[in-house]
Amino acid sequence: MNPVSDVRYPYRPIIGRPDYDWPDGKRLAIYLGVNHEVFDFGGGLGAELAPSQTDPDVMNYAWRDYGNRVGAWRLFELFDRLDLPTTALLNADILDRCPGLAEACRDRGDEIAAHGRTNARAQATMSHTSERRMIADVTQRLATLGIRPTGWLGPWISESAITPDLLAAEGYRYVLDWAHDDQPTRLATTHSSLLSIPYSQEINDLPAVIQRHQEADGFATMIRAAVAQLLSEADRRPSVLGIALHPYIMGQAHRVPALAKILEELREANDPRIWWTTAGAIAEHVETHDLAV
């Protein structure tokens, strides 16, 4: 296999794989991947609540910035109340543009994972040299929070032909860009093995609410159904469910109650098969026990 030009993993169906458990015999690992992102005013990429008729796009920029100013803090209160860890997916520019936000993630015990420099630009558009420098810069800046990140999610799930190679060379353990499986898998790179940890593009508030025009109750129903289905398969295989959240979407006042309800419901059920965890802890368990296919 040529890891540069070909898909980086072989086909292997979910059936017939070696069986294993998560810690303490659990079978479904659930983590919350919270995207803390910054965007450019007057240009660059960015999700749209509605098409803008003007430039600069005040409406959509302000809507996205609400997540950093209000939505993230509202979600922190919810997660604290339910004693839920998260994987904080941080644009490195958060450190400069939103003082205290990244530190709050660290201080509440969230895993710090890298999410590029900014969500105003997709890294696939960079030259290989620029991308290599960007990954190194992001890594060094986030390490100032006290721990070097081991996980990466590309802005806009964007990769160049050599992104996994660069991440492996920089010492990353896992990447979240590939939504091809319910279990951790290995990606081939030119440097060393890199884990792909499942990160859902379905149980993800951005495509669900913004692109598919569902509201929070519909998104909560998706979470409930996904957990029920994965638990129904738990006697046959372990699995991972990453719930992807954006504070400017699910941190809105009218959406938090539905998210709170489903998380409270799952926490109160206290199903012994569920491991509430982080993407990094999943990767560590897989690496320690050599479990990934």
Predicted confidence (pLDDT) per residue in 194-234, tens digit: 999 999 999 999 999 999 999 999 999 999 999 999 999 99
Q: Which of 163, 153, 160 is nearest to 191 (CA)?
A: 163
Whether 4 has a pLDDT exceeding 70, the answer reads no
Give the pLDDT confidence score for residue 291 in this predicted structure. Answer: 85
52, 59 Cβ separation under 8 angstroms: yes
3-state secondary structure 45-70: CCCCCCCCCCCCCHHHHHHHHHHHHH
Whether 39 has a pLDDT exceeding 90, the answer reads yes
CATH 3.40.50.150 for the 23-40+55-289 domain, yes or no: no
Least confident of 19-23, 133-137, 167-171, 192-196: 192-196
pTM of the model: 0.95
Whether 275 has a pLDDT exceeding 50, the answer reads yes
For the stretch 189-204, pLDDT in tens is 998 889 999 999 999 9
Give the pLDDT confidence score for residue 13 in this predicted structure. Answer: 96
More confident residue, 58 or 272: 272
For the stretch 148-165, pLDDT in tens is 999 999 999 999 999 999
Neighbours of 33 (CB within 10 A): 26
Least confident of 42-46, 50-54, 236-240, 275-279: 50-54
